[in-house]
Amino acid sequence: MAKIHVSPRSIVVPGDLIAEGDDVEAESLFIEKRGKKFYATITGLVSIEQVDDKYKINIIPLEGAYIPRPGDIVIGLVEDIGLTHWEIDISSPYKGILTVQEALDKPFNPVTDSLKRYLDVGDYVVAKVIAFDRARDPLLTIKGKGLGRVTEGSIVEIKPSRVPRVIGKKGSMVNMLIKETGCEVLVGQNGRILIKCPNKDIEEVLILSIKKIEAEAHTTGLTERVREFIRKERERRGV
Amino acid sequence: MGGTGAEKPTLIRWEERGGERVAVRIDGRLPEQLRPIRIEVGVLGNADGSALVEYGATRVLAAVYGPREAVPRHVALPDRAIIRCRYHMAPFSTEERKTPAPTRREVELSKVIREALESVVLTEMYPRTSIDVYMEVLQSDGGTRTAAITAASLALADAGIAMRDLVAGVAVGKVDGILVLDINEVEDNYAEADMPVAMAPSLDKVLLLQLNGVLTHDEFIKALELARRGILEIYKLQKEALRKKYVEVETSTTG
């Protein structure tokens, strides 16, 4: 029989005993199993789910760097240009590699053509991680719907560990932001958020509310509080 | 040991307390008593993680950067992160100005602290990166290496780096034949022995143990047990401080 040592949604720190027993399953990389005991290895919020006769435990990290995973949508900044590839800063310990094959639809000849014509240093791109095996740098692609160079809008940077909170359960938070402000919001998994707003005033309100989510990521009832915040700010500013 | 040449102060007084004769230390503490400890996490905005730790008048600031791209590139390891540590005493941390250049002692302490941290941090989770730990002693009153390691482990946890346990450290000394916990500068100067210890309490492992001076076998066992008790107390404060950072945000925003 499982013994749970922490209450759900409480904060755990490295070394905390979360649970013990044979019917416990760890769903996070940040939970270490020693014998029958499960320990936290990171500062985060625990969630405990009872499925059939098993307890599934998970930790949502409160801090930490962005580690790329295949399939992630990220917003990158072009840092350097090689002969047939771009190096992209994806605010992670690992830099993204975008090869010319993953960017252009036509054959590319480095002798007659220059990559600079397509993407220059300082450009932002919306990209997808296609492969990352930890031994080499993550490979990106900008071929696909919604991907490619960013031509308009603003970028807001937050801590990557706060991204799940900005998206919310099944996108509840980001959908609320879009509905309340009428802006377009694209959240990159690496903590960069692309926003396109009808005017500057509403953009400011949106940025403030994103920063509010970042600061209060570990609290409960955040969606409603942020909704309230946006309505108050809009009223106060008359936008 | 390194007596300053001045006359030795009375380090242990014997007092009658509740019908018992107890040893009282120069700062009024009992032999098994820690100094007042203050811990604060997340004190630096630029660092990924930071902590300030005070053991009495000893004050150490730790900052952690990373995991980040290792520079220069050739120092990176293909299968895990490297940890780089810098223990440094500020020129104003001691009574007499300390030259800011790293001394032999500081290089050694950086190394032993790095090795202690390497055994708890899950470096395999961050291959080809570096984790940089900076510890700056702001004020020194004995036990700076143990305060530094306590601060460093908190800063790592604050940076969201995966580690198997927090690390806490404390020094035990032998003063006038009596084993004392959390030895301070004056006691250290005239002590027969000084033994800094760092442990990972939930793993129940010793990560750092140095001994300066002489202890008998029995004294050593007693000293280690004394250190363990002190470390458990500090460990509790560490966890409290880490949690407090988030609770504070909560109360300041819901009001």
Report domain extents, chain B: 34-254
Residue A179: phi, psi to the nearest 5? -65, -40
Mean pLDDT of chain B, nearest integer? 94
Overall domain count for chain A: 3
The ipTM (two decimal places) reads 0.89
Of the three residues A131, A149, A167, the one that is the final residue of a domain is A149
> Which of B159, B247, B249 lies closest to A215 in CB terms?
B249
* Amino acid identity for residue B170 in this structure: V
| CA distances for B119 relative to A42, A49, B163, B198, B210, angstroms | 15, 32, 9, 12, 17
pLDDT surpassing 90 at residue B21: yes
Q: Which residues of A touch B239 (CB under 8 A)?
A: 13, 15-16
Residues A8 and A54 in one domain: yes
% of residues, chain B, pLDDT over 70: 95
Which residues of chain A are under the pLDDT cut of 50? none
Q: In the numeric block, which tokens belong to residue B55?
A: 């053991």
pLDDT surpassing 60 at residue B2: no
Q: For position A122, which CATH number holds?
A: 2.40.50.140
Q: Give the structural domain span for A34.
A: 3-61
Confidence (pTM)? 0.92
Q: For position A232, which CATH number holds?
A: 3.30.1370.10
Residues A97 and A25 in one domain: no
Q: Which residues of A touch B69 (CB under 8 A)?
A: 93-95
A68 assigned to some structural domain: no
Q: Which residues of B touch A216 (CB under 8 A)?
A: 249-250, 253
Q: Which residues of B touch A164 (CB under 8 A)?
A: none
User: Reading across the β-sheet that carries B82-89, which strands appear in turn?
Assistant: B37-41, B49-55, B58-69, B129-139, B82-89
CB atoms within 10 A of CB B89: 24
Residues A77 and A56 in one domain: no
Residue A198 CA to residue B85 CA, distance in Å, equals 49
Residues A27 and A41 in one domain: yes
Residue of A nearest to B241 (CA): A13
A135 assigned to some structural domain: yes
A169 assigned to some structural domain: yes
Residues A46 and A77 in one domain: no
Of the three residues A114, A149, A184, the one that is the final residue of a domain is A149
How high is the pLDDT of residue B255? 41
CATH superfamily for B34-254 is GHMP Kinase, N-terminal domain (3.30.230.70)
pLDDT surpassing 90 at residue B250: no
Residue A164 CA to residue A141 CA, distance in Å, equals 23
pLDDT digits (tens, 9 = 90+) for B231-242: 999 999 999 999
Residue of A nearest to B48 (CA): A64
How high is the pLDDT of residue B251? 64
Contact A93 B129 (CB under 8 A): yes
How high is the pLDDT of residue B252? 62
Contact criterion met (CB below 8 Å) for A73 and A127: yes
Selected residue of B48, B64, B242, B252 to mutate for chain A interface (largest A Cβ count, 10 A)? B242
- How many residue contacts between A and B have a Cβ separation below 8 Å? 97
What part of A 79-138 touches B (C-beta under 8 Å)? 93-95, 134-135
